[in-house]
Amino acid sequence: MELRQAVLSREILRGAPHGVPGRIRAVVYDWQVGSGTATLVAFDDGTTSLYFSNGGGIIGAGEQAPVKKAAEIFRDEAKHVAATFTPTSKFPFPASGKSVFYVVTDSATLTSGPFLTSDLARPDHPLRGLTRKAQDVITELRKAT
């Protein structure tokens, strides 16, 4: 989970060329899986990974066209809701039954705040579209591995 911390703290962006001001560099989705947490990360360069807090994950599948496309759509959807997120410098794992999204830019990490995972499936939930796009990325990651 050191990679998760490096992404959310923007440490991973140090030394990388700066992006367009305000542009989303990465979108992160954390949710509970059993007794641990799964973390989906989709970078603006196409790098896409899925990590598990108990170890393991999928790294490097973003080079495959279906994963890359799904991740791009996921990041695009995040643009539509990022204005509702708030800046944060703390990145706790979500509690049992909850999920959280983060948007990482060159200058800030923004959070959706935790939500009940079951609420994210409601048709009227403002993050339902983002959740569905995240699930599309996960589906393509699973197909690719």
In a structure prediction context, what are the per-residue pLDDT tens digits for the chain, which is 145 residues long? 788 999 999 999 887 777 777 789 999 999 998 889 999 999 998 899 999 988 888 887 888 999 999 999 999 999 999 999 999 999 999 999 999 999 999 999 999 999 999 999 999 999 999 999 999 999 999 998 8
Q: Residue 129: which domain range? A: 2-144
Q: Whose CA is closest to 99, among 131, 73, 77?
A: 131
Helices 65-81 and 128-144, axial angle in degrees (round to 10): 170
Q: How far is it, in rounded angstroms, from Cα 18 to Cα 25?
A: 9
pTM reported for the whole predicted model: 0.94
Q: How far is it, in rounded angstroms, from Cα 31 to Cα 92?
A: 11
Looking at the 3D structure of the chain, how many domains does it have?
1
Task: State the residue for tokens 């993050």.
Answer: 127
Q: Whose CA is closest to 127, among 5, 54, 60, 30?
A: 30
